[in-house]
Chain A
Amino acid sequence: MTTTAPQHESPPAPQRLWSDILTTPVGDLLRGRIGARCRPRPRDLIATCGLPAELASLVWEVVRRTRLWSTEKVAVSRELIAHFEDGLAVGTSAAELGVSFGDPAQAAALIRRAKRRNRPLIWKAAKLAENAVAAVLSLALLLYTIQVVRLYSHAPNITRNYVSEWNQDALTVPPAERAWPVYLAAMQATNGYWEHNWHGDELSPGSSSWPDITEFINSNGRALELYRQAAAMPKIGLVLGREPDVDYMVNNAGQPIKNAGAAPDPNPEFISVLLPPLTTFRSVSGMLKVDVYLAAQAGDAQRTQHNLDAVFGIVAHAREVRLMLADLVALTIAGDACRTIGALLRANPQLFDDHQLAQIAHRLAGLGGPEGLRTRFASERATVEDFLQRYFTDDGHGDGLGRPELLARLAVFTSGDPAPTRWTPTIGLNTVLMPAISPFMAGKREMLAKCLDFFGRYEAEAATPLWQRSPTTVDDEFIQFRTSLRNEVRYAPLMILMPSLGRAGLMYEYFAQQRDATTAALALALYHRQHGSWPQSLNELVPQLLPQVPPDRYDGQPLKYCLVDGHPLLYSIGVNRKDDGGRLPSPPPDGTKTPLAELNRQARRWQPAPTAQRGAGAAMEKPLPDGDWLLWPPVE
């Protein structure tokens, strides 16, 4: 045993200032160490124990290095002091005791470990929790780092120019054959602000606005003629993304077109392209409809027919744009044209000659070509695909993660404001956030697959006649999909970008019923002229005047027909799927005054069959309208 004592640091008496600050009474109270100042402090204990300086230093060094609680340090100090005092008492020198004690650092480490094992269970539980949190945080940090690498090592790869692809057909139309410039010229020639003044039901004789409307039409003969010319042209030739802001033009008649001549973006976002014709088509068809009535009142069958032809031309032009919203506008215009024709047949049955009636029937039946006016969802699909290629990275295998720009873009969509607001996340913040969010958000491939799955099912549903549809609508599934919190995060872009398309699919079915009823009404008119009486059944119209009796879209059976007081009535059994004999639904029992046209619309509002069959018996469901959807003559 060597007698050389190790050299240890001196006792810590001069270093008390910081410790004194930390152990003020208030400090102790805040740290939950009530009564801490009543207990001896280890260094005081060691300084006053009477051990030789080198042993006192050794004890302090060991105790200090343990980094234990103060009470634990006191216990260890007392034990070591007693140990050395016992050694000295049996005659061992201080130097020998110091050497035989061993390495103070190792002793401190072992003592610390052992003493901590003696701590209370609650401390051990807290420590376990702390370690677990640390482990989770470390794992999260690791995952975040991996995600940062994954996210920022790839960039979006914009391979397709959807706007350009959409414009391919339009660009092949020679400039001289494009109808759109003629529409624009007509719009500029319009004297006044049609779009903001009159809508919907006002555009029929007898409305309170009718005198003002007729005055407007009479003072815009030149513009109407241009519209008829435009509508008669075979192709609209509209180039998306390069057209002027028609809304601006409408609001600033006579002013230069706002963005005409501006350098177009070579690959604009598909979702951002302006849809100028939609406003135009609706307002122009409204003007032509008014002129239909004015011409009919004047007994001018040819002008009336020309106006109807122009409306059909607008429908064809809207379909040429191939956007879902344009398809819906086409359906609205075509449906309105059906009601206008129906009203003319009722009010001016002798206006058109037989040939004109047949022409109108053929034109109406042929709207939209072989596929009819069925709503197409290709533009919505392209919108999502284009969005994904711009705001998701491309790993070269068709997959990728959402980019920081995605959050800012989605924030703009949800706020409805195209300009960033103070609440729009900054790109810097998004750069930090996105790696943390992206593990919870579906990748590009999964996002696209989910989107295409819904589009496919919506398209299949839209292609199915109402009477063959499943009891569960795709909208039901889509709403269920949207209400899941997991999906809200995982498919956040789809939640914002992808609309419920069920109603868009229904629009065609409503129109098809209206169209079929109108062609049947035209056939009835011809039959009446030929026979001087109405047929007892629609079968009598087949095959001379109708190729076949059109179906009722709600049960697949022949469209309902009857004579009421000697006058014909065409109707569908409506959403309650019950033949009520051509009676409108009853008004609300609470006495609320409801227009007849609204009651008629309620009768057609489609629901899946099982729900409908439960009808008024289902306590929690709104009772189904107890009447039929009257198709012709129009309900006024």
Chain B
Amino acid sequence: MRIERELMRGAGPVAVLKLLERHEMYGYELIDALSKRSEGVLALGQSTLYPMLYNMEAKGLIESTERAAPSGRERRYYRLTRTGHAQLAQQTEQWVAISRAMLALGILPGPTTTQEALA
């Protein structure tokens, strides 16, 4: 399923932040993880991911280091900064609120009212 560009623009960064929450990852690994864990829904084009990472780095949400992998190959690893953690927490809250609203509206399958959703 292909997601609208505008939706992807909002979901992509928070997805990347979430993936980097626990440990650092490199570019190909991120693309692979996004594709597999979202069952292809949030699969980012490779030409999109790297600019997104650079933007997030510019905003101070992530930081990167270049070093050799165990295989000996040089890679750039990305990890979350303190600002990135805060941003992730904030955006998670917003996504939860959106999900609840979608649920309440019947856009998402499940309880039909907010009270039911919260019960």
Contact = CB atoms under 8 A, between A and B. Distances in A.
9 contacts: A83-B27, A86-B26, A86-B28, A100-B46, A107-B51, A110-B50, A111-B54, A113-B51, A118-B58
Nearest to B32: A90
B73 A83 contact: no
- State the main secondary structure of chain A at its contact with B: helix
B50 A111 contact: yes
Nearest to B56: A114
Question: What is the interface residue range for chain A against chain B?
Answer: 20 to 34
A85 interface: yes
B29 interface: yes
Interface in A100-118: 100-104, 106-107, 110-111, 113-115, 117-118
B58 A114 contact: yes
A85 B50 contact: no
Interface in A522-541: none
A107 B66 CA distance: 21
Question: What is the interface residue range for chain B against chain A?
Answer: 20 to 34
Contacts of B52: 114
Interface string B38-51: 00000001111011
Nearest to A97: B46
A80 interface: yes
B66 A78 contact: yes
B18 interface: no
Contacts of A114: 50-55, 58
A82 interface: yes
B76 interface: yes
A79 interface: yes
A110 B44 CA distance: 14
B28 A118 contact: no
A471 interface: no
Interface string A63-87: 0000000000001101110110111
B75 interface: yes
Interface string A115-146: 10110000000000000000000000000000
B51 A79 contact: no
A105 to B, nearest CB: 9
Given A83-B28, A86-B28, A101 B46 contact: yes
Nearest to A114: B54
Interface of A: 62, 75-76, 78-80, 82-83, 85-87, 89-90, 100-104, 106-107, 110-111, 113-115, 117-118
Interface of B: 26-29, 32, 45-48, 50-55, 57-59, 66, 71, 73-76
A103 B73 contact: no
A212 B55 CA distance: 101
Nearest to A102: B47
Given A86-B75, A103-B47, A107-B50, A117 B26 contact: no
B76 A82 contact: yes
A104 B47 CA distance: 7
A65 to B, nearest CB: 11
B50 A80 contact: yes
A118 B32 CA distance: 26
Contacts of A87: 28
A83 B29 CA distance: 9
Contact of A117 (B55, B75, B76): B55
Nearest to A104: B47
A78 B51 contact: no
A82 B47 contact: no
Contacts of B73: 82, 85-86, 89
A110 B58 CA distance: 13
A90 B73 CA distance: 14
Contacts of A115: 54
A75 B64 CA distance: 11
A82 B68 CA distance: 10
A117 B50 contact: no
A78 B55 CA distance: 18
Given A85-B73, A118-B54, A110 B47 contact: yes
